[in-house]
Amino acid sequence: MASPDDFVNLDRGRAQGLEHAPAPGGDLGAKALDLVYRIYLGHGITTVRDAGTGAGMARMAEQRAQIAANGVVGPRLVLCLRWPQPLREWDIGNTPGKARAMVREFKAAGADCIKVSKSPGHYPDVMEAIADEGKKLGMHTMVDLKVSESDARVASNAGVRSIEHWYGVPDAALGGSQNFPTDYNYWDELDRFRYAGLLWSEADRHPEQLSAVIDLMIRNGTNWNPTMTVYEDNRDWWRRAGLPVKETLMHPSMIAAGPDSSVHGSFKREWKTSDEINWKRNFAIWMKWVKAYHERGGLLTAGSDEGEIGGIGLIRELELMQEAGIHPIDVIKVATTNATTALGMAEQCGVRVGCRADLAVVNGNPIDNFKVLYGRGYGFYGVVPRGEQWKHGGVAWTIRDGIVFDAQALLREAEWYIEQEKQRLKGKAAMEVGSAGRR
């Protein structure tokens, strides 16, 4: 789940959850949606669950309809509206009664599901009302838990379908609050992520309590979508800084961005060796419990939470699932069978008589090496000459609802657009410099 967040299907179509579709005309340029659609389909991903979009529900509902009618080239869309609407008006949807009314408004607006990521949606009674009203209307609820009144235990008991990332899971195993320093400021993103890197270590001191939390989630049928890939740069910033796809498939606005305290996740005004070490330990413990959740029968899905490069991020998530100790065949099941189950897509039941199935035809064996799924052979960057990469890996064909897409052609179009955007932004910068000089 793009998002939860990302789901992938190799034999049924891949679904990506907890994604955030970009608005056309924003940082990714006029063709932002066309770009990200091509990156998804080019990596074999046929379904995207959008977990709150900057493009607006009206526009995305129209996109959903056009894609379904094959009027637009894109992945199947499942649209969640972010709670509350509008953001930062804290007396909106802040009681169970108001919450139920807002869920009905979401349904009328065309939402398929509800994404709770802010208070007052985290108030336990409000969360329960959201999930209950959503079920009555055929809408599932996904939650991105913060340091708040609700943890994974509260959310699971409230009836939410899916818990994104990992917030709230280790928290629920603590006897009280995390051991924050006295000057901790949650609204300082550097503080938030620095001390998040210590949370799993603290919770793992109480393995019996952590075990009880995940058993509760499993009993309640709660889906867990870890989205490990979006946090990986915290354990190895240089890896992210040197990704080969930055040259060809990553929009220049994403590369040029530096620390910005007003932007979520853009906090690395400093990032110390000790921070990376803490996050490496954090990952090891996190992965241990992700594996335990899977092995005990929990509904685990694969997601990236990186809407701009979601196809690329989702493939990396598969590699991280394997690193966690899950067998590659089971990783594929997590990204396919589990994805369609979590999204309630009963008709997408695999390659069998009476079922519908999407397909990704891959140049290579992903069971042996998930890197063969990357772009135009990008998984072989630095291993074979650049001009030879396309011969080694990549999705050749993506089939969604019986429509065959040339995955490599879509990625070439994405590369072309990125080059045009580089030139556009260079020209814009030159004009701004010239204008400043004239002043």
pLDDT of residue 306: 86
How far is residue 344's CA from residue 140's CA, in Å, rounded to a whole number? Answer: 9
Hey, how many other C-beta atoms are within 10 angstroms of the C-beta on 278?
A: 21
Which pLDDT value is given to residue 239? 83
CA gap 3, 142 in Å, rounded: 9
Could you read off the pLDDT of 356-412 as tens digits, one per residue?
Answer: 889 999 999 999 999 999 999 988 888 999 888 888 999 999 999 999 999 999 999
9 in a structural domain: no
For residue 243, the enclosing domain spans 14-438
Give pLDDT tens digits for 305-349: 888 888 999 999 999 999 999 999 999 999 998 999 999 998 888
- Is the pLDDT at 260 greater than 80, yes or no? no
Q: Residue 76: pLDDT above 70? A: yes
Between 256 and 127, name the one with better pLDDT.
127
- Asked whether residue 329 is domain-assigned, the answer is yes
- Report the alpha-carbon distance of residue 397 to residue 420 in Å, rounded: 25
- Residue 344 within any structural domain of the chain: yes
CATH at residue 59: 3.20.20.140
**Phi, psi (deg, nearest 5) at residue 202:** -70, -40
Task: Determine the pLDDT at residue 437.
Answer: 63
Is position 244 within any domain?
Answer: yes
Token couple for 292? 């335990």
Query: What is the pTM for the complete model shown?
Result: 0.91
Question: How many domains does the chain contain in total?
Answer: 1
Spatial separation of the C-alpha atoms in residues 192 and 201, rounded to whole Å:
16
Q: Is the pLDDT of residue 430 over 80?
A: no
Phi, psi of 78 (to 5 degrees): -120, 120
Q: What is the DSSP string of 269-300?
A: T---HHHHHHHHHHHHHHHHHHHHHHHTT--B
DSSP string, 86-135: STT-TTSS-SHHHHHHHHHHHHHHT-SEEEE-STTTTSHHHHHHHHHHHH
Token code pair at residue 3:
């998002």
| pLDDT, position 438 | 63
In a domain, 1, yes or no: no
Sign of CA dihedral 388, 391, 393, 399: positive
Question: What number is the average pLDDT over the span 266-290?
Answer: 94
Per-residue confidence band for 5, with pLDDT thresholds at 50, 70 and 90: very low
